[in-house]
Structure 1
Amino acid sequence: MLRCFRAVAEQGSLADAAEILGRTPSAVSMMLRQFEDHVGAPLFESTRKSRLTPLGELIHAEARRELVHFDRTVAAITGMARAELGHVRLAVTPSVAQVIMPPILRDYMAKHPGVNVDLRDGDSATIQRDLTAERADIALATLGPIPGFTRHLILTDRFGVVCRADHPLARDWSDLGWTDLADVDFIANGLCDHIRDESFTPIRNGARLNVANTASLLSLVRAGVGVTLLPELAVQPGQDDLCFLPLIDSSARREIWMLTPPDEMMTPAARALVSAIRSADLRDPQS
C-alpha cells in the first residue's frame, strides 16, 4: 500500500503509477482506496490524484523514509544470506596470521567485497577464551576439543630450536640433540608444554625466562638472551638473522586446529570463510 501510494503521489496519475508498478490502473485505484480507508482520511484533493492533502504530504514524506529503510534492510538480509555482506571475527596464532591467512584472506575478500573481517592474533589460551566467550567466530590455534564447537585439523608443522644465526648450535646442529641444550640459556614459551619427550623436561624446567608473545620471544633471541623452541611456521622466510634447527631426536609436531560453532550457528559469511580455509592448500605453507 505504501509503494502504491508513493507511486501515485509522485507520478500524479493512476495510469502512470500503474505503469511503473506493473499493475492495472483499476488495481492501483482499489489498493489506494483501501489505504485511505485504513488511514481514515483522504490523501488526495481530487479524484485526479494530482495534489496531495496536508495529511497526504505528511504520509508521503514518511512513506519515502520507511520504504528506503525497508529496501535497505531487505538488501542487507539478502546480502548476508548470500555471504555478500557481514562481519567475521578471526582469532588465530601469530604464525597463522603471518603465513597461513594472507593468501586465504586475499582471495576471500576479493570474492566477498561487502564482508568485514576482524583478525586478532594471540596465544592459544587467549584464543580459546575469545571463542568460548563468543568474541570470535573462527579460531585457528593449538586447541583440544571444546564442547559445543566443531574441530577440524588444518595442518601440522615440526618443532625446532630457534637461535641466532651466529649461535654455536647453528654450526653443527646435525650432530646435536636434546642433551646439547642442557648448558644453553633456554627461553620457554607456552608451546613447550606440547613437547612430551622426557629428555626435554629438564630443559623446560630449567628455563629462567618464560615469554608468551612470539614477537617478543624472537626479539629476545635476536638480542642473544637465549634460544627457544617454536614450530617451523614461526620463523618467517627472509629472517636471515635467525636459524630454525629441526629436532634430531624428536618427532614432536605442532597441530593447528580450526574450531567453530556448528554450521547452523554461523553466519553465511563465516561459513564461506571456513570453507575457504578448509579448501586451501596448506601442505607447504612456507612456499
Structure 2
Amino acid sequence: MAIKIEMLRCFKAVADHGALADAAQVLNRTPSAVSMMLRQFEDHVGAPLFETGRKSRLTPLGELIRQEAGRELAHFERTVSAIEGLARAERGFVRIIATPSIAQIVMPPVLRRYIADHPAVRIDMRDADSATIEQELRSEGADIGLASLGPIPGFDRRRILSDRFGVVCRADHPLTWHWQTLTWADLHGTAFIANGLCRQIEDDAFAPLLEAARLSVRNTASILSLVRAGVGITVLPELAVLPEFSDLAFLPLQDVSARREVFIFTPDAALMTPAARDMAAAILASELQPD
C-alpha cells in the first residue's frame, strides 16, 4: 500500500496532539477511523512510531517522520493553494503585447483596476508595432494582443476603439495657422515621414503623399522625436500624441474619414488561463472609445 497524504495528515495530527481522540476531533473523523489509518501507516513503515499505546510519545523514528511529514504537508497545502488560486484567477501570469499608444494611453487605468482586483497575478506588458504583435501571437509569445490588424486564424478579434487620423507637426509649423481647412493637398511639398499605420488610410488623395515620402519610420516614439526635431511631419492616430507633448500639434483634416481601428486578439477561451481571461474581460469592459 502506498503512503497517502491522508496518512501523513493523520499521523501528524496524532503526534501533535498526543491522543487519538484529540486528533480525531481536529481531523473531523472518528477515533476508530484515525486508529485504523495510523495502523496502516505503521504497517507500511514497518516499525512503531509511538512508544506507548496512548500515543503521547514518539519513537526516534517517529520524530524524524513527523518532521518529514510536516514538510510534505506544508508543501502540499502550498500546491493546493496555488492550484486553487490559478483556477480562480487569483494567481498566474499574463503576457500582453500592444501598440505603443495603446500601452501608454489605454492600458494604465485598466491595469490599475486589474492589479487591485488580482494582487497576486504577475503581468508582463510590451509594446511593439502591429507586425511584431502578430508574430508574437502566432508563436504563442503573448496571451493578449492589442493592435490594428486583420483577422488572425485561431484568434478571436474584437474591436476595442477607433480614433481619427490627423497631421502631427511641431506646434510652430506653418500648417497650424490654417489647420481648420487642412486637406491632403496642403501636405504636398512638405517633408513627410511615413509610418506603418499609413497603410490603413485608403483615401485616394493620400496615396501620392505616401509615395513621395523619402523617410519611413516604424517606431512611434522615434517618429515623434523626428517631428519634434523638425525633420518633417507625419500622420498618426489622435491617441499617439500624448497630452504632455505640448510642443507638438495634432491637426484633424477636413473631409477625411480615415480612422485607426484597434482590436483585442485572444486565443480560444478554453486555451487561456483564468487570469488572462479576466484581463481580456477587463479590457473589453473599459471605456476606451475616445470619440
Separation (CA, whole Å) in 2 of partners of 1:25 and 1:139: 57
Residue 95 of structure 1 aligns with an amino acid whose one-letter code is S
2:152 corresponds in structure 1 to: 146
Question: Given that residues 178 and 249 in structure 1 are in contact (C-alpha distance below 8 angstroms), is that contact kept between their aligned partners in structure 2?
Answer: no
Percent identical: 66
Q: Deviations over 1:77-96 (max 9, x none)?
A: 11111111111011011111
Question: Given that residues 180 and 253 in structure 2 are in contact (C-alpha distance below 8 angstroms), is that contact kept between their aligned partners in structure 1?
Answer: no
Segments of structure 2 that go 5 or more residues without pairing to the other structure are 1-6
Separation (CA, whole Å) in 2 of partners of 1:247 and 1:65: 69
1:226 corresponds in structure 2 to: 232
In the TM superposition, residue 199 of structure 1 has moved relative to its aligned partner by: 1.6
TM-score (norm 1): 0.96
Question: Given that residues 160 and 247 in structure 1 are in contact (C-alpha distance below 8 angstroms), is that contact kept between their aligned partners in structure 2?
Answer: yes
1:41 corresponds in structure 2 to: 47
2:130 corresponds in structure 1 to: 124
Question: Given that residues 181 and 253 in structure 2 are in contact (C-alpha distance below 8 angstroms), is that contact kept between their aligned partners in structure 1?
Answer: no
* 1:249 maps onto 2:255 in alignment: yes
* 1:264 maps onto 2:276 in alignment: no
Structure 1 ranges of 4+ moved more than 3 A: none
Q: Deviations over 1:138-178 (max 9, x none)?
A: 00000111111111111111111100010001111222311
Question: Given that residues 193 and 232 in structure 2 are in contact (C-alpha distance below 8 angstroms), is that contact kept between their aligned partners in structure 1?
Answer: yes
Q: Deviations over 1:16-71 (max 9, x none)?
A: 22222222222211110111122232222221222223332332222111111110
Q: What SS does the corresponding residue of 1:172 show, helix, strand or coil? A: helix
Question: Given that residues 182 and 252 in structure 2 are in contact (C-alpha distance below 8 angstroms), is that contact kept between their aligned partners in structure 1?
Answer: no
Residue 117 of structure 1 aligns with an amino acid whose one-letter code is I
| Residue among 77, 84, 89 paired with 1:83 | 89
2:63 corresponds in structure 1 to: 57
2:35 corresponds in structure 1 to: 29
| Residue among 132, 135, 141 paired with 1:135 | 141
Question: Given that residues 115 and 269 in structure 1 are in contact (C-alpha distance below 8 angstroms), is that contact kept between their aligned partners in structure 2?
Answer: yes
* 1:198 maps onto 2:201 in alignment: no
Question: Given that residues 160 and 289 in structure 2 are in contact (C-alpha distance below 8 angstroms), is that contact kept between their aligned partners in structure 1?
Answer: no
Question: Given that residues 143 and 257 in structure 1 are in contact (C-alpha distance below 8 angstroms), is that contact kept between their aligned partners in structure 2?
Answer: yes
Question: Given that residues 123 and 213 in structure 1 are in contact (C-alpha distance below 8 angstroms), is that contact kept between their aligned partners in structure 2?
Answer: yes
| Residue among 5, 8, 27 paired with 2:14 | 8
In the TM superposition, residue 256 of structure 1 has moved relative to its aligned partner by: 0.2
Q: What SS does the corresponding residue of 2:121 show, helix, strand or coil? A: strand
Separation (CA, whole Å) in 2 of partners of 1:12 and 1:160: 79
In the TM superposition, residue 248 of structure 1 has moved relative to its aligned partner by: 1.7
Separation (CA, whole Å) in 2 of partners of 1:232 and 1:284: 9
Q: What SS does the corresponding residue of 1:145 show, helix, strand or coil? A: coil
The alignment yields a C-alpha RMSD, in angstroms, of 1.3
Residue 115 of structure 1 aligns with an amino acid whose one-letter code is V
